[in-house]
Amino acid sequence: MEPITRYNPTAINHGAGARDGAGGAGSPGTGLMDVLDRVLDKGVVIAGDIRINLLDIELLTIKVRLLIASADKAKEMGIDWWSHDPHLSSRAKHDQQRLDASKENKALRERVEKLEAQLKALADHRGSTDAGQRNRATSGSGRRD
């Protein structure tokens, strides 16, 4: 079994060893490969809208936007959603897990800071209450004398 190679019209063997579909410029295989190569290299955009109306009332609108291109061409155009989707890219999945862990870590730090502030406020309040009770006790014993 021979490896699959990209279509190259100058490399076609027109001799006795030529295979079906790769023999000449007019053969069906060559034309299909040429069209596929051009579509993937340049890209094709198909756009359309489907609207369903009933008595001038729009019931449904479907907007269809289809881009057919190679991954390299799509990246050139700035389209690379598959590299950021955690279901399609292990790198994106790892990045998503790190982001989630970072968010959770930040939320936990904020929670700890809030609890520490509440604890300090409670300790300050308790300390002032204890000092007030000591002052009353001291002033009360001073009056008895």
pTM of the model: 0.34
* Distance of alpha carbon 28 from alpha carbon 34, whole angstroms: 10
Question: Is there a contact between 82 and 88 (Cβ–Cβ < 8 Å)?
Answer: yes
Pairwise pLDDT comparison (50 vs 7), residue with the higher score: 50
pLDDT in tens, 74-86: 888 788 777 777 7
Q: Where are the domains of the chain?
A: 1-41, 43-79, 83-145
Place of tokens 């308790």: 126
Residue 62, C-beta contacts closer than 8 angstroms, at least 6 positions apart = 49, 50, 51
Closest CA to 71 of 43, 33, 91, 100: 43
pLDDT of residue 63: 92
Q: Is 45 helix (H, G, I), strand (E, B) or coil?
A: strand
